[in-house]
Structure 1
Amino acid sequence: MSLDTSPAVRAVLFDLGGVILTIDFDRALAAWAPHSRLPAERLRAAFRWDEPFLQHETGGLSNEGYFAHVRQALELDCDAATVEAGFNAILVAEIEETTRLVEQVRRRVPCYAISNTNEAHMEQMRRAFPALLPRFDRVFASHEIGHRKPQPAAFQHVLREIGLSAPDVLLFDDLPVNVDGARAIGLQAVLVRSPDDVRNALALRGLLQT
């Protein structure tokens, strides 16, 4: 293993979807399809990260407002509860190999989570995966802090709250744009394609027990 020349890590910051949780947007489309007047391809095209989606994830649009938008945009003939159930179906399962790594590394340094998310998904995480969020010293959710990754303000908010400088913090994220955004303001950041990427980066920095 090559020697690591990165600054010492004083905290680790984990993305949730794609790093800690398996996410599958096709599950939402499958749940909504029987209620939509749109054919499958048009339904898929209609479900986008549009302005209401972004507002929902930064606290500017309530669950009720967003689900009303989804019902209209996807031409769904169903109630809000059915829309929400489909939306929450996106959250599939914990990535257990990575959550075990969180349990190991948190014995050495604080572990935090940062997620582009919304009130509905956070509530579903608490119901479906009750042991997940308590693993972290604190969870920074975009709809609560008012900023989404890769906006610098999202990372700067976390740094202010935990009282550390950017080079002291190691981020794991599954989207290149978020990794690039974090690195641009000085964080150490690793692109995650599998739990091995997390394990290798933690081991390289001496954060796992040997």
Structure 2
Amino acid sequence: MSNELKLAIFDLGQVCFRTHQERCYLEWEDMAGIRPGSVSRDFPLDDQYEDYERGTMSGRSYAEYFCMLNELSLDFAEWREGWIAMFGEIIKPTLDTIKQMRISGLTVVALSNTNATHVEHWKELYPELVDSFDHMYLSNEIGMRKPEPRVYEHVLAQHEAEPSQAIYFDDKPENINAGKRAGIESILFDDDAVAALWWKRRPVANAAS
């Protein structure tokens, strides 16, 4: 079995671009005509949200559920406007590292828990980033979410890579722990320079040619 580095896996939100969830709440409250802070900031990471991210629940259905849960009087267009307000700037050191990895011969992919509403928006918002990946594994398209073990197995299998041939960056400890359990070298992204510093320490000669 070869340990030659073959595959780099990147999360998207807070690794490749910033997200600001507070912006969503402020937009929703403004459109609903209610006082800022009225909507609970304890976002419901429940079964419905997971279904939305797996692509088994539509954006409209999830919006109706979310608005009912939070007593918000918004139509889908208004809810969507708030929902996409979270996207911020590209994290440039990560983008630069992705480009360097691909030049060296590595396959570089994205692995993200996301939803169709967001994907439609950020694909237009970040075309340079989207074009920088060899492939994007999006939960709403593949029907599975991190930190499910099968999602890591799926990505490795698509590229005929052993766990020892991959590196994985994510900002959530539970996903990093799942990556480690899958045998992948998994790095917690807790600083903008994490991927860039890791790449500088890793000789380019170790990349697959």
Q: Provide TM-score, normalisation by structure 1.
A: 0.90
Moved segments of 4+, more than 3 Å: 35-42
2:8 equivalent to 1:12: yes
Q: Which residue of 2 aligns with 1:91?
A: 87
Q: Which residue of 2 aligns with 1:122?
A: 119
Q: Which residue of 1 aligns with 2:98?
A: 102
Task: Tell me the CA shift for residue 195 of structure 1.
Answer: 2.4
2:40 equivalent to 1:44: yes
Q: Which residue of 1 aligns with 2:140?
A: 143
Q: Does the Cα contact within 8 Å between 1:125 and 1:132 map onto a contact in 2? A: no
Superposed CA offset, 1:62-84 (max 9, x none) = 11111111221122222101101
How many residues were matched structurally? 202
Task: Tell me the CA shift for residue 35 of structure 1.
Answer: 4.0
CA distance in 1, matches of 2:203, 2:188: 18
Task: Tell me the CA shift for residue 37 of structure 1.
Answer: 7.8
Q: Which residue of 1 aligns with 2:176?
A: 179
SS at match of 1:186: coil
SS at match of 1:164: coil
Q: Of the candidates 41, 60, 63, which is equivalent to residue 64 of structure 1?
A: 60
Q: Which residue of 1 aligns with 2:129?
A: 132
CA distance in 2, matches of 1:71, 1:21: 27
CA distance in 2, matches of 1:196, 1:125: 22
- CA RMSD after TM alignment: 1.8
Percent identity, please.
Answer: 26
Superposed CA offset, 1:12-57 (max 9, x none) = 0010001001011111111111244876555124632122111100
Structure 1 gap ranges (5+) = 1-6
SS at match of 2:128: coil
Q: Provide TM-score, normalisation by structure 2.
A: 0.90
CA distance in 1, matches of 2:197, 2:93: 13
One-letter amino acid matched to 1:44: S
Moved more, 23-32 or 35-44: 35-44
One-letter amino acid matched to 2:182: I
Q: Of the candidates 136, 149, 154, which is equivalent to residue 152 of structure 1?
A: 149
Q: Which residue of 2 aligns with 1:168?
A: 165
Superposed CA offset, 1:126-149 (max 9, x none) = 121122211100000011111111
SS at match of 1:43: coil
Moved more, 162-171 or 42-51: 42-51
Moved more, 123-132 or 177-186: 123-132
Q: Does the Cα contact within 8 Å between 2:93 and 2:196 map onto a contact in 1? A: no
Superposed CA offset, 1:133-182 (max 9, x none) = 11100000011111111110111111111111111110011111111100
Task: Tell me the CA shift for residue 207 of structure 1.
Answer: 3.6
